[in-house]
Amino acid sequence: MRPWSYILSALFVVALAAPAMAANSITVKGSTTVLPIMQRAVEAFIAETGTPVAVSGGGSSNGIKALLDGSTDIAMASRKMKGKEIKLAESKKLTPVEHVIALDAVIPIVHPSNPVNNLTKDQLKAIYEGNITNWKEVGGPDAKIIVISRDTSSGTYETWHKIVMKKARVFPGALLQASSGAVLQAVSKNKNAIAYDGIGYINNTVKPLSVDGIKGSATTAKDKSYPVARTLQIYTSSAPSPAATQLVEFILSPKGQDIVEQAGFIRR
């Protein structure tokens, strides 16, 4: 894992002097997990092409919604499109195209002072359901577990909900965060907290945990031995603008994939 000093707010815009609505401009919206990759890629893309690009987070669901309502050229998503989203696209006679740009591992994180190093998927599920409430129940100190989760518009939440929770509900006492960066910051400041985040966000302000004895890494994500591995993708319309097509091709190129690694994620 590579440290990543994240630059994150709910909205991040990268642009040149040209107007944002210019015919050759590009709008990108969606996943805050994918955001660090896109920020770096857009900076390099602008330097090469001079094409204005506006980038904002807000979550995978919001990015896909924006693609379907025509308010973005590219949607960033840390999950696959849902069946209901595909049906909505069909009802609008749209055919979104998926482009996998990276691999990721969703990793449980705790405060660096926490002595716990590994949790099973069953233990994680029980913690997030509110059935395990004290760290001493899983080999830690006698302290209440502060559970932190992403909000439901997040693709990272969807991944956790499907793989770890097996679609069970996160208990109402969990503290919800609106972005990957906010999750990282919350855990770094609370010695009793637990959360989960994409591999590109993990740095020395938090401690990553193994899951079922397997560490999240580029190797274990690629060979799928890590239990909470996933793909990261962007979506375009079936007939994207030439500028949007050029940006997608740039991210998928060797140079773009180098940027994926520089952002701390795993090349596809």
Domains of the chain: 26-103+231-267 (3.40.190.10), 105-222 (3.40.190.10)
Share of the chain above pLDDT 90, in %: 91
Cβ partners under 8 Å of residue 119, min gap 6: 108, 127, 138, 209, 210, 211
DSSP symbols for 253-266: SHHHHHHHHHTT-E
What tens digit of pLDDT does each residue of 167-208 get? 999 999 999 999 999 999 999 999 999 999 999 999 999 999
At residue 15 the predicted structure's pLDDT band, cuts being 50, 70 and 90, is very low
pTM (predicted TM-score): 0.86
Amino acid in the structure at residue 200: G
Q: Confidence class of residue 20 from pLDDT cuts 50, 70 and 90?
A: very low
Neighbour count for residue 175 (Cβ, 10 Å) = 13
For 39-84, write each residue's pLDDT tens digit. Answer: 999 999 999 999 999 999 999 999 999 999 999 999 999 999 999 9
Q: For residues 165 and 170, what is the distance between their CA atoms, to the nearest angstrom?
A: 8
Whether residue 138 contacts residue 119, with contact meaning beta carbons closer than 8 Å, is answered with yes
Give the torsion through C-alpha atoms of 72, 74, 78, 82, to 10 deg: 70
pLDDT of residue 253: 98
* Residue 24 pLDDT grade (very low, low, confident, very high; cuts 50, 70, 90): confident
Instruction: Please give the helix or strand (H or E) that residue 182 lies within, else none.
Output: helix 180-188
pLDDT tens digit sequence for 132-178: 999 999 999 999 999 999 999 999 999 999 999 999 999 999 999 99
